[in-house]
Amino acid sequence: MNETKQTEARELLDLLELRQYPAFMRRIDEWNPVDAAEFLSELPCERLPMVFRLLKKDTAAEVFAEMEPEQQSVIIEGMTDREIGSMLDDLFVDDAVDMLEEMPAGIVKRIMKSATPETRAEINRFLAYPEDSAGSVMTSEFIDLKSEMTCQTAIEHIRQHGLDKETVYVAYVTDTARVLTGVVPLKSLLFADPLTKIGDIMNEDVIFGYTHDDREEVANTISHYDILALPIVDKEKRLVGLVTVDDALDVLETEATEDIEKMAAILPTDKPYMRTSVWETYKKRIPWLLLLMISATFTGAIITHYESAIGTYAILTVFFPMLMDTGGNAGGQSSVTIIRGLSLGEIELRDVLRVLWKEIRVAAICGLTLAAATFIKVMVIDFRFQRLTVLENGDVQNNLLIAAIICITVFCAIIVAKIVGTLLPIGAKRIGLDPAVMASPFITTIVDTVVLIIYFTIASNILHF
Amino acid sequence: MNETKQTEARELLDLLELRQYPAFMRRIDEWNPVDAAEFLSELPCERLPMVFRLLKKDTAAEVFAEMEPEQQSVIIEGMTDREIGSMLDDLFVDDAVDMLEEMPAGIVKRIMKSATPETRAEINRFLAYPEDSAGSVMTSEFIDLKSEMTCQTAIEHIRQHGLDKETVYVAYVTDTARVLTGVVPLKSLLFADPLTKIGDIMNEDVIFGYTHDDREEVANTISHYDILALPIVDKEKRLVGLVTVDDALDVLETEATEDIEKMAAILPTDKPYMRTSVWETYKKRIPWLLLLMISATFTGAIITHYESAIGTYAILTVFFPMLMDTGGNAGGQSSVTIIRGLSLGEIELRDVLRVLWKEIRVAAICGLTLAAATFIKVMVIDFRFQRLTVLENGDVQNNLLIAAIICITVFCAIIVAKIVGTLLPIGAKRIGLDPAVMASPFITTIVDTVVLIIYFTIASNILHF
């Protein structure tokens, strides 16, 4: 809500306080459903059902659909079975299904009992679509025309049946077997001669999706073709629903957030941050922290193996953080780029060799640059200013040796890190896992182990331990 | 392109090969502009201008708008000044501006010379809006009605002027001073009595944005209110343009990608991965790698300071990777959660204390869990099975001491990491920097330093070195 709305919200609260309900009803009715839902959400729970009853019947369902599950269940609990049934009729099926998926079992039972048999059947059909599928986000309220209609009859049809449709701006054409055959934007209907047949102006090159398609794929198609809605068909190509662009926006935003969370080693959640409890946040974060911590056993084991060498060459440990962080960062860059590319459809699985070859070349130049920078840094900053001691007698010869070990390790680390960062997300996608998990934290743990092995192998060969 | 389209694309190529141009023209004309642009993009550069000329005049501009800058400049170079001028007229202003922003100076000059004075003036006005502002992504082709019109005249007006508008599904109402006063969706026009006045059915509670608003903010508003377009006004609230939902989709996708790239220490790019050269990729990645590597000087300095102690207690280094990675992961979780929350508008700057308090509580439980897990792991796995040596005489007493040092450090590290991960993104936002930069790689470097300081301070106190 912006500031104007917040001032108005305070005035609305005053009206409620003074029990001036007719004035309140006139005012809230001018609000859009999103702001009205936000206003209601901030009311104390015990007043919510009463105030919700003040909404006009036709906007009530819209406002309800915009509310959070907690508030929805409070409102439902304050309703009679008849009121629930009538609101279910007013809700779009996809909104009703969204709500049911979040409700406690007891309330779901009561809602389903209150629904008409047709609504109940339709809701059950939608609930059966797999989570994250196009079927689970689509709506069944679409306008469906026949190719022999004229534009005039079509517009008349839309006038009569369009009011409770999710969008009236795109109509779909189906044949007698309900198979999708064409699409007509309302714009074409409006601009065409009223007596033209729909079949003559419809676009037969319809872009569509299947109910079992992934919702992210469907959203990407809507975004790619800049369309207002994507028709969804079943296996027999019969039109069963549509996904609108605003649903696509929500899906893409949710998927981006989920990817970002997974990349940061957090289990994804669909609740906004400020409404997630400390305990819930903890449960989303601790599994990966524990897993990654325990997998550090490998790095520990490697260092343990070289413990006596470290006793002699303690200087080697000075570069642990730099080597591991640089490896982790380089690997993270690759993995995150690839994960995002896969998710936007810019990178396909069949591109794996081209991607790998490119990453190796990028790694080679990055590795050379960083090795050169490391050399200068180690020789000038670390040895000159910090006066690192090299062995007991620390002569230049040994400085050069240490610098060489670090530089070679940095170069190898970058190459390995970028290869690991490329192959893990692509491999994950290949075997049907979510690539987003293969991001920085996971890569870092693996790269750390590999970098330490490289480091000690090179060091033990050069320093003979 | 899906498989059907790829088969059709091969057929189109055959038609071109056989010089069956009329057949080619009929076929490509049925394609939607996005697929047609993709088809043209795959042609060799020397054939592109010729094939582009085969497109119908009214679809040519749409296809052109969907193409990449490289292909656009090839096409422009093959055009006469008159052809350029006529295409500029057909392009939406925002598409023309997008194109000009990517063209080399020479071509821009030629294009601007070919434009009519009005188009030139309008393009210049759009070019003046700051990058990433609403003004830079809006279009000026909108339908604007007067409140005294009837619905019938309004629909007639849309029929006459709507063909070259970006959307005909939302119309805006302005007064004589061009100030925005209302919004009417085409749906309302269609469902209303033809003789109703626009003023009576328009919604005066218009959601709008300003030209200087950030484009991400505008896109978030469109997504929040599920609207098809957002009207954009100047400082005097005069209507100057609109941003459509498909532009909002692009903006949100680009911004999410940019955030993800910044979080992974990559300079953002707007080119798809497969079309970015090795050298460009290198330039986007090396700055942060170098910076982060050099900032590892701090961790190096700390270890150097304790070098002689490490000579004695080499076992301490075994836990370096585990401590630093766990700290980095914990800090990364917080920073990434907060960066995403800030970008979606779920977290506001004024929430800083609530967020911090929550993160500290989460950190405390995470810290306790990890400390307990560490204790078990160190005592059971590390000491039992790997037989780590503790000092020369390595008795149980000392095992417990080492385990205690690690556990206390883990706990403190998590607390500090989560505080740093919370405050840095919020602080960055506060001083006008992009919070996304304050993600895992940056946090890791800072947390590494702090964790090592904590580790050595605790160790030196317990082991007296």
Helices (H) and strands (E) in chain A, counts: 23, 6
* Mutation site, B324, B347, B465, interface A, largest A CB count within 10 A: B324
Query: Which fold, A274-463?
Result: Tetracycline Repressor; domain 2 (1.10.357)
pLDDT given at position A387: 54
Distance CA B97, CA A7 (A): 39
Predicted TM-score (pTM) of the model is 0.83
Q: From chain A, pick out residues whose CB is under 8 angstroms from the CB of B326.
A: 289, 292-293, 296
pLDDT given at position B393: 47
pLDDT of A315-373, one tens digit each? Answer: 888 888 899 989 999 999 999 999 999 988 888 888 899 999 999 999 999 999 999 99
Q: At residue A447, what are phi and psi to the nearest 5 degrees?
A: -65, -40
The pLDDT confidence band at residue A395, using thresholds 50, 70 and 90, is very low
The pLDDT confidence band at residue B355, using thresholds 50, 70 and 90, is very high
pLDDT given at position A1: 65
Across the interface, do B299 and A322 touch by the CB < 8 Å criterion?
A: yes
Residues carrying CATH 1.10.357.20, chain A: 274-463
Across the interface, do A31 and B205 touch by the CB < 8 Å criterion?
A: yes
Q: Are B384 and B297 in contact (CB under 8 A)?
A: no
pLDDT given at position B382: 67
Contacts of B351 (CB under 8 A, 6+ apart): A274
Scanning the structure block, which residue is given the tokens 């119908």? B56
pLDDT of B142-162, one tens digit each? Answer: 898 999 999 999 999 998 888
Percent of chain A with pLDDT strictly greater than 70: 96
Residue B93: closest CA among B128, B68, B44 = B128
User: Looking at chain A, which residue has its C-alpha nearest residue B209?
Assistant: A2
pLDDT given at position A383: 66
Q: Which of residues 426-455 of A touch B (CB under 8 A)?
A: 439-441, 444-445, 448, 452
On average, the pLDDT of chain B sits at: 88
Across the interface, do A338 and B273 touch by the CB < 8 Å criterion?
A: yes
pLDDT given at position B327: 93
Residues carrying CATH 1.25.60.10, chain B: 3-128
From the number of C-beta atoms within 10 Å of its C-beta (0-12, 13-18, 19+), residue B15 rates as middle
Distance CA B330, CA B313 (A): 27
Q: Are B158 and B143 in contact (CB under 8 A)?
A: yes
pLDDT given at position B433: 87
pLDDT given at position B132: 86
Scanning the structure block, which residue is given the tokens 């005909």? B168
- How many Å lie between the alpha carbon of B12 and the closest alpha carbon of chain A? 16
Q: At residue A172, what are phi and psi to the nearest 5 degrees?
A: -115, 150
Q: What is the 3-state secondary structure (H, E, C) of A320-334?
A: HHHHHHHHHHHHHHH
pLDDT given at position A385: 55
Q: Are A209 and A227 in contact (CB under 8 A)?
A: no
pLDDT of A25-71, one tens digit each? Answer: 888 888 888 899 989 988 888 888 889 988 888 788 889 988 988 88
Q: Are A203 and A183 in contact (CB under 8 A)?
A: yes
Give the 3-state secondary structure of residue B192. Answer: coil
The pLDDT confidence band at residue A397, using thresholds 50, 70 and 90, is low
pLDDT of A156-172, one tens digit each? Answer: 999 888 877 878 899 99
pLDDT given at position A167: 85
Q: Which of residues 367-406 of A touch B (CB under 8 A)?
A: 369-370, 373-374, 377, 381-382, 386, 388-389
User: Cα A166 vs. chain centroid, distance in angstroms?
Assistant: 23
Q: From chain A, pick out residues whose CB is under 8 angstroms from the CB of B337.
A: 261, 264, 266, 273
pLDDT given at position A93: 83
- How many Å lie between the alpha carbon of A326 and the closest alpha carbon of chain B? 6
Give the 3-state secondary structure of residue A68. Answer: coil
The pLDDT confidence band at residue A101, using thresholds 50, 70 and 90, is confident
- The CATH architecture of the domain made up of B144-252 is Roll (3.10)
Residue A4 is encoded by which pair of tokens?
């104007």
Across the interface, do A190 and B168 touch by the CB < 8 Å criterion?
A: yes
Q: Which of residues 226-285 of A touch B (CB under 8 A)?
A: 226-228, 245-246, 248-250, 252-253, 256-257, 259-261, 263-266, 272-274, 278-279, 281-282, 285
Give the 3-state secondary structure of residue A267. Answer: coil
pLDDT given at position A31: 87
Residue A451 is encoded by which pair of tokens?
């970098």
- How many Å lie between the alpha carbon of B314 and the closest alpha carbon of chain A? 6
Considering only CB atoms, B286 lies closest to which of A225, A293, A366, namely A366
| Total residue count of chain B as it appears in this document | 465
Residue B382: closest CA among B318, B456, B320, B321 = B318
Helices (H) and strands (E) in chain B, counts: 23, 6
From the number of C-beta atoms within 10 Å of its C-beta (0-12, 13-18, 19+), residue B337 rates as buried
Across the interface, do B314 and A318 touch by the CB < 8 Å criterion?
A: no
- For residues A317, A323, A325 and A330, what is the CA-based torsion angle, rounded to 10 degrees? -170
* Mutation site, B289, B351, B415, interface A, largest A CB count within 10 A: B289
On average, the pLDDT of chain A sits at: 88
Q: In CATH, which superfamily holds the domain spanning A3-128? A: MgtE N-terminal domain-like (1.25.60.10)
- Asked if residue B392 has pLDDT above 60, the reply is no
Q: In CATH, which superfamily holds the domain spanning A144-248? A: CBS-domain (3.10.580.10)
- How many Å lie between the alpha carbon of B268 and the closest alpha carbon of chain A? 10
- DSSP labels for A427-451? HHHHTT--GGGSSHHHHHHHHHHHH
* B224–chain A Cβ distance below 8 A for any pair: yes
User: Looking at chain B, which residue has its C-alpha nearest residue A193?
Assistant: B159
pLDDT given at position A344: 85
* Residue ranges in B169-274 assigned as alpha helix (H): 186-191, 198-201, 215-225, 245-263
Considering only CB atoms, A159 lies closest to which of B190, B329, B338, namely B190
* Mutation site, A160, A333, A369, A415, interface B, largest B CB count within 10 A: A333
pLDDT given at position B146: 93
**How crowded is residue A195: how many other Cβ atoms within 10 Å of its Cβ?**
9
pLDDT of B37-59, one tens digit each? Answer: 989 988 888 888 889 988 888 78
Q: What angle do CA B213, B217, B219 make, to 5 degrees?
A: 115
Residue B407 is encoded by which pair of tokens?
């556990």
Residues carrying CATH 1.10.357.20, chain B: 296-463
Beta strands in A179-321 (DSSP E): 180-185, 209-210, 229-233, 239-244
pLDDT of B180-217, one tens digit each? Answer: 999 999 989 988 898 999 999 999 889 999 999 999 99
Residue A228 is encoded by which pair of tokens?
């207002």
Q: From chain A, pick out residues whose CB is under 8 angstroms from the CB of B332.
A: 264-265, 440-441
- The CATH architecture of the domain made up of B296-463 is Orthogonal Bundle (1.10)
- Asked if residue A249 has pLDDT above 60, the reply is yes
Scanning the structure block, which residue is given the tokens 């409140």? B147
- Asked if residue B394 has pLDDT above 50, the reply is no
Tell me the range of A249-253, A360-364, B127-131 where mean pLDDT is highest. A360-364
Give the 3-state secondary structure of residue B229. Answer: strand
Percent of chain B with pLDDT strictly greater than 90: 36
Contacts of B3 (CB under 8 A, 6+ apart): none
Q: What angle do CA A210, A211, A215 make, to 5 degrees?
A: 90
| Helices B320-344 & A440-463 angle (0-180, nearest 10) | 150
- Structure-model confidence comparison of residues A286 and B270, the more confident one: A286
Residues carrying CATH 3.10.580.10, chain B: 144-252
pLDDT of A104-161, one tens digit each? Answer: 888 888 888 888 888 888 888 888 898 889 998 898 888 989 999 999 999 999 988 8
Q: From chain B, pick out residues whose CB is under 8 angstroms from the CB of A357.
A: none
Q: From chain B, pick out residues whose CB is under 8 angstroms from the CB of A351.
A: 274
Distance CA A136, CA A212 (A): 9
pLDDT given at position A99: 86
pLDDT of B208-257, one tens digit each? Answer: 999 999 999 999 999 999 999 999 999 999 999 999 999 999 999 888 99
* A360–chain B Cβ distance below 8 A for any pair: no
Distance CA B37, CA B63 (A): 5
The pLDDT confidence band at residue B113, using thresholds 50, 70 and 90, is confident
Residues carrying CATH 3.10.580.10, chain A: 144-248
**How crowded is residue B204: how many other Cβ atoms within 10 Å of its Cβ?**
12
Beta strands in A175-228 (DSSP E): 180-185, 209-210
Q: Please compute the mean of the pLDDT values over residues A280-289 and round it to a whole number.
A: 90
Scanning the structure block, which residue is given the tokens 């068909």? A233
Q: Please compute the mean of the pLDDT values over residues A291-310 and round it to a whole number.
A: 86
Q: Which of residues 108-147 of B touch A (CB under 8 A)?
A: none
